[in-house]
Amino acid sequence: MNLLFHTPGHARHDPTALSPGHPERPARLNALAPVLDQAATNGWTRREHAPATDDALARLHPAAHLAWLEELANGGGGRAEADTALTAGSMDAARSAAGAGLAAVDAVVAESDVRAFCAVRPPGHHARPFVDRGAMGFCLLANAALAAAHARAAHGLNRVLVVDWDVHHGNGTQDAFYEDENVHFLSLHRFPFYPGSGAKDETGAGAGLGATRNLPTAFGTPPDTIVGRFRTALADVADACRPELVILSAGFDARRGDPVGDLGLEPEHFAALTAAVVEVADAHADGRIVSLLEGGYDPAQLAEGVTIHLAALAAGGASSE
């Protein structure tokens, strides 16, 4: 079964109102509307969801963080930091984005061989947990990390794998589980690059030592080499973790020509990355995958990337052969 979740009212979060030309803009998700419509005619089922509750958000975000964001939004808008702006509807969109991940986890855990894609914004993997003012890098709430925390707290899963191939390192997700042996994290990202974290020697701490694996990748690395390294690392991490659920931070800003990122990847490379994740989920997690949109800042390229991603999710691991 393949499920689609979407952020209703996402356009009310519009950083361009404060920063004209801001890349994290409503046009990103608007460009996905025909992609999702087409997917819905090809076997994907749309699901509605509720916004994330304060209790669910409190697993990672202090009340002071939420109150700060609400104050900025309710005051008509403001900047959480230089590149992270809120408008009046930003927190409604952010709570909906986080809620999509929670609902997707509920649906995927309920039965085997279910894959879900969450077309959401604002993105989340830079939002820092356990910090009173942790918004950064266009991110307000830690969508993927909250989904993993929900899988543990609400469903009692013992082993969750979070995979992140956004061109930027998912520092917020890493921080959430850096000392947690039950949530493994694998990140493929450009390095050195924003936000500056994600070095190879960042491997976890305490009980979580070894549960974090980073694949820092230099600009100019051949795309086929990138995909090969990812497949090898993912197989190693999955064998160690034996995940009951795979959560994916699916950023498409590693695409050649993306205005914010770029690692030279083309659509076929995203198909191969997706197929590798599906193979791991099929082998260890009864096919259970929750994929959440992160970056990708050229709307047309983003639509193409998501189209490829959905096709590879639906096809299973066959496209990697």
Name the phi and psi angles at 230, rounded to 5: -60, -45
Of 61, 126, 150, 168, the active-site residue reads 126
Q: Report the C-alpha gap between 203 and 186 in whole angstroms.
A: 10
Find where tokens 């309920």 sit. Answer: 110
Looking only at the bridges linking them, the beta strands covering 77-81 and 84-87 are antiparallel
292 three-class SS: strand
3-state SS track over 25-59: CCHHHHCCHHHHHHHHCCCEEECCCCCCCHHHHCC
| Length of the chain as a residue count | 321
250 three-class SS: strand
Q: Could you give the C-alpha distances from 280 to 93, 163, 243, 271, 288, in angstroms and in order?
A: 31, 11, 9, 14, 10
Q: Is 204 in contact with 175 (CB distance < 8 Å)?
A: no
Q: Is 73 in contact with 91 (CB distance < 8 Å)?
A: yes
Q: Is 177 in contact with 145 (CB distance < 8 Å)?
A: yes
- For 196, left (φ over 0), alpha (ψ -120 to 50), or beta? left
Q: CA nearest 161: which of 259, 238, 230, 219?
A: 238
Looking only at the bridges linking them, the beta strands covering 183-190 and 115-119 are unpaired
Does the active-site annotation cover 126? yes
Question: Among all residues, which ones are annotated catalytic?
Answer: 126
